[in-house]
Amino acid sequence: MSASPPFSQRLLLTLVVVAGVLLAWNLREVIVLVFAGSVVAVTLTAFGRPLRRYFGLSRRVALAAVLAALVAVLGLGIWLIGPALSEQFERLREELPRAVDAVGGWLDSNALGAALRDAWNGLKADGVPWSRVASLASVTLGSLATFGLVIVLGIYLAADPTTYRRGVVRLLPPERRGLVDGALGSAGESLHRWLVGQGVSMLAVGMLTTLALWAIGMPLALALGVIAAVLDFVPFFGPIVAGALSVLLAFIEGPQTALQVAIAVIAIQQVEGNVLMPLVQRWAVALPPVLALLSVVIFGVLFGLPGVLLATPMMVVAMSLVDSLYLQTFIETPSSRGPD
């Protein structure tokens, strides 16, 4: 039996760990910023992977091609639907107060209970800035400067991820470098597959929402579809907020329209949860619903709004690292894994 390290070494190791935790806590905003840049880098890499695989392009050439294509697509989208979308968002900001008044009038005209009416009127009396709800997506990253910094970080990380990964691994003892390097690679692949699956889901939700609201005859269907697609990135709470916003605005057209929109929103969420996501998760990362919900709460408490927005990819990376660094190394020994 090998002798345990002396007390002084164990005390020093404990102090180093505590100091590292305190440093990470004080730099949590920087950590979230770097992680957001990593998400951008993985997304750019996902777009460039087919170019590298089928055309033999280098990583940097593929990245340049992806950036040029994204700029072209963004410019074309702004040219085609930018004015209409901008007009709809402006109308959405103007219509929200009317929607609030319409809901309050509908509650006053129905015997739904004084408590419910008082609660709704209390929200109105407190001066809730409903007109700012439509612009929520524009301030989720804090500022345009922060958003630009995240994009620049993502581009640099996507151009040469090996250098940064190797730099992190070299901080560890030599006997642990191979294990950690493999774990980081597995985490990056898990994040890549999750982002691809989530992108498919967001695109489908946005298109289905737009088409459903257009078929019902709802105005601002395009703007609401874009909001539904963006908020679908946040599990559970995002779709609820997007659906509630659509139903709220539908009250301007009348209670029957609001009911139709509510049915459409619920149907789309059921299609996403029971049809689309099981198909996507056959080749993407499947995150258990409980962990997805807890990730929003945990990372929201730790990092605020950025933590809420990045909660699911953070949990995907955390699950992958725990599996590679702990479960496969210390728990799932060859004798406990059973025959292959």
pLDDT at 112: 53
Tens of pLDDT, residue by residue over 126-159, are 444 444 444 444 444 445 567 788 899 999 999 9
Residue 73 lies in a domain: no
What pLDDT, on a 0 to 100 scale, did the predictor assign at position 294? 87
CB 224 within 8 A of CB 213: yes
Query: Rounded to an integer, what is the distance from CA 109 to the centroid of its chain?
Result: 40
Q: How far apart are CA 178 and CA 282, in angstroms?
A: 29
Which residues of the chain have a pLDDT value below 70? 1-5, 7, 107-108, 110-145, 282-283, 286, 330, 332-340
- Number of structural domains (the chain) is 1
| Residue 130, Cβ density class (10 Å: 0-12 exposed, 13-18 middle, ≥19 buried) | middle
Residues spanned by the domain of 303: 83-143+175-333
Residue 190 domain-assigned (yes or no): yes
Q: For residue 268, what pLDDT is reported? A: 94
Q: Alpha-carbon distance 198 to 202, whole Å?
A: 6
pLDDT of 206 reads 93
Instruction: Please state, in angstroms and rounded to a whole number, the distance separating the CA atoms of residues 43 and 74.
Output: 16
Q: Within a domain: residue 256? A: yes
Would you state the pLDDT for residue 68?
Answer: 95
Kindly state whether residue 155 falls inside one of the protein's structural domains: no
Q: What is the DSSP letter of 142?
A: S
Residue 131: predicted pLDDT? 47
Helix axes 28-55 and 289-303, enclosed angle (nearest 10)? 130
The dihedrals phi and psi of 316, each to the nearest 5 degrees, come to -60, -45
Give domain status of residue 59, yes or no.
no
Q: Note if the pTM is more than 0.85.
A: no
153, part of any domain: no
**Burial class of residue 136 (count of CB atoms within 10 Å of its CB; 0-12, 13-18, 19+):** middle
Q: Is residue 323 part of a domain?
A: yes
List of long-range contacts for 335-339, beta carbons under 8 Å, 24+ apart: none
In this prediction, residue 119 carries a pLDDT of 58
Question: Under a CB-based contact definition with an 8 Å cutoff, are residues 177 and 200 in contact?
Answer: no
pLDDT for 83: 86
Tokens of 74: 């963004």
Asked if residue 71 belongs to a domain, the reply is no
The residues near 226 (Cβ < 8 Å, ≥ 6 apart) are: 85, 206, 210
